[in-house]
Structure 1
Amino acid sequence: MDMEKIEQGFLLMIENIKSIAREQNTDFYDAFVEQNAAFLQAKLDKPTDVALSVLTASNQKLSQLHLTKKEWQKLFQFVLLKGAQVAPMQPNHAFTPDSIGALFHFIIETLHPKKDIRVLEMGSGLGNLAEFLLVNTTKNIEYVGFEVDDLLLDLAASMSEIIGLQATFMQVDGVQSQLLAPVDVVISDLPIGFYPDDALAQTFFVGQKQGHTFAHHLMIEQAMKYLKESGFAVFLAPADLLTSVQAETLKNWMVEQAHLAAVITLPEQLFKQAAKSIYVFKKSKSTRATFVYPLENLNDQKDIHALMTAFQSHFDA
């Protein structure tokens, strides 16, 4: 990657976002969406009114940088980090770090040997996990992302289009059932908290008979419905997923519906809120032992290599 070009692009984009925010009296993220739309329209020689007034020259310079897909992805991360400084998002809306994306990528590449693959992301958020996978994959991925928040959806879709990725984003509540052809893999950086619709939650096996149900439990159960037989799901979820106050219901559901194939615990300091782990569920019944690995340092290549070697040995056996 050419970090000098990325920095140039970052400065051009931030200045455009600031200009739009001032002109339209809007916030950073809405202005970010407008900037992406203006850039895409300018590339089609159909600039918007905003682009004509303040953005055309900057977007032409941005286009002339000829950024690669990886450079665009990195540029957008820097823009989102800048946004987090001026307009912090709630924790469930923060983008998934590349270090986590790299582990998801490794797991998918290892467990799904076929070239063509259908992937569903539940709660695609800002799209960074999707972007990392699609930019770095060696596979032909048919990707669909479900996201209920319209701003996050617009940001993810516009960034994906600029990068040049083949991805479909849909405004969908991940807990509610949708008509969808079965997929090979489900992924999610699961949103943490209680689901507000108790009536709907109680139609699920993991739904609590009294009080609110954890939304991430509902999404795990829903994910299995979209998977092909022997398909698998990769989740970033709370480290206490199997020991929380609602864990017993989830474990009872797992007995009939899913095999917990792997748990990779992550360093606590990686998260501002509660610690998280990566969980791999397979849509099948199995008596095979769960692969468990405590990853101590995501920045230590020896630790990462040891994890990968142990993971491959376990699933090749």
Structure 2
Amino acid sequence: MNQQVTVEQLFSTFDESAIILGRALSVTYLEALGETAENLFHGYVLQEELTEIDKKRVQKLYDNARLERYSKESIRKSYQLAILKGMKEHVQPNHQMTPDSIGVFIAYLMRKSNGSKKPFILLDPAIGTGNLVTTVLNEFDGMVEAHGVDLDEVLLKLAYAGANLLRHPITLYNQDALEPLLIDPVDVVVCDLPVGYYPNDVRAADYRLNADSGHSYAHHLFIEQSLRHTRPGGQLFFIIPNGLFESPESKKLQAFLTEEVYIEGVIQLPESLFKNKQAAKSILMMRKKAPGLKKPKEVLLASMPSLTDKKATASIVQKIDRWFSDHQKG
């Protein structure tokens, strides 16, 4: 079956059932989507408040969906489309979903870094709806033990329900990720950094990257917190604003990173992926220092062209492949 057709069909199941549940339960589309995804995982309607007519309508949608027919990527993409629809209804700045292409590209970088057969433990301290992590997990199916943190209950419910549908084991924590985390050090951190100010000055004071005056940058604190939970020699992939090292407090950030990590690469993402030039981002690839770990001979610096330009993209990928080949030789 054509994947595009299957994605559209399954999206319709998510969409129609979420609309019915949303109306019946008097909740938002996103909240209803989390409920219907959990129903679909179990195969039946869990909400007892529904009328018999609504239960039958929704159950028929689930029965016709036959989830076992779909690949994990088709399920993830269908679910993502429904989440995007819900986000358009009430958008908040930190509710933006990480584009698929970025998740696939980070998975490629991870594979080049660590090989493709070594199991590892992963953390996303700002997991949101889970799209970045599940994109990575689909690329490393069955090899990853994942952990995710988010303060937003609705987003975390969507991440939980989505992980269940894809049958990926993820341990989720509903808390402020900058509070103490009961998570052992991991091998890899991936995070689309939440950009902005952190309002809890008392908590921020526990960080070396707290601001000298006023509120601290949340994205700086997320970097430090991630490093606290990364084992020596572990790798970190952050999606960062392009102006990260040009902002106030950037000197303190640079000094901290020089002490704690080796920066392995900065890859500027295509501006076409973002609403405007000011919103454009890059991938910052770092490795936490460890005894015997050598600094890379050179930092990988690359600027990704529009992904529709296949020739230019292939050229950049060749450059990245060469960097990894040279770097891994020592």
Question: TM bucket by the smaller chain?
Answer: over 0.9
Contact 2:87/2:95 (CA < 8 Å) preserved in 1?
no
Instruction: Identify the residue that residue 22 of structure 2 maps to in structure 1.
Output: 21
Instruction: Identify the residue that residue 109 of structure 2 maps to in structure 1.
Output: 107
Instruction: Identify the residue that residue 80 of structure 1 maps to in structure 2.
Output: 83
Q: CA 1:139 to 1:162, structure 2 compared with 1: closer, same or farther past 3 Å?
A: closer
- Structure 1 CA distance for aligned equivalents of residues 12 and 324 of structure 2: 45
- Alignment of 1:30 with 2:23, yes or no, is no
Contact 2:142/2:168 (CA < 8 Å) preserved in 1?
no
- Structure 1 CA distance for aligned equivalents of residues 197 and 182 of structure 2: 24
Instruction: Identify the residue that residue 91 of structure 2 maps to in structure 1.
Output: 89
Shift in Å at residue 54 of structure 1? Answer: 3.7
- Structure 2 CA distance for aligned equivalents of residues 150 and 306 of structure 1: 42
Contact 2:266/2:301 (CA < 8 Å) preserved in 1?
yes
- Alignment of 1:279 with 2:288, yes or no, is no
- Structure 2 CA distance for aligned equivalents of residues 213 and 155 of structure 1: 29
Q: How does 1:51-70 map to 2 (within 5 A)?
A: 52-63=55-66, 66-70=69-73
Q: How many residues align?
A: 314
- Structure 1 CA distance for aligned equivalents of residues 212 and 205 of structure 2: 6
Shift in Å at residue 164 of structure 1? Answer: 1.8
Shift in Å at residue 5 of structure 1? Answer: 2.4
Instruction: Identify the residue that residue 313 of structure 2 maps to in structure 1.
Output: 304
1:268 maps to a residue whose letter is: E
Structure 1: unaligned runs, 5 residues or longer: none
- Structure 1 CA distance for aligned equivalents of residues 268 and 306 of structure 2: 10
Shift in Å at residue 274 of structure 1? Answer: 1.9
User: How high is the TM-score relative to the length of structure 1?
Assistant: 0.92
1:80 maps to a residue whose letter is: I
Identity of aligned residues (%): 29
Instruction: Identify the residue that residue 48 of structure 1 maps to in structure 2.
Output: 47
Instruction: Identify the residue that residue 6 of structure 2 maps to in structure 1.
Output: 5
- Structure 2 CA distance for aligned equivalents of residues 304 and 268 of structure 1: 14
Shift in Å at residue 230 of structure 1? Answer: 1.2
Q: Secondary structure at the match of 1:129?
A: helix
Deviations 1:133-170 (A, max 9, x none): 11122661111111111110000110110122222222
Q: CA RMSD in A?
A: 2.0
Structure 2: unaligned runs, 5 residues or longer: none
Q: CA 1:152 to 1:209, structure 2 compared with 1: closer, same or farther past 3 Å?
A: same
- Alignment of 1:171 with 2:180, yes or no, is no
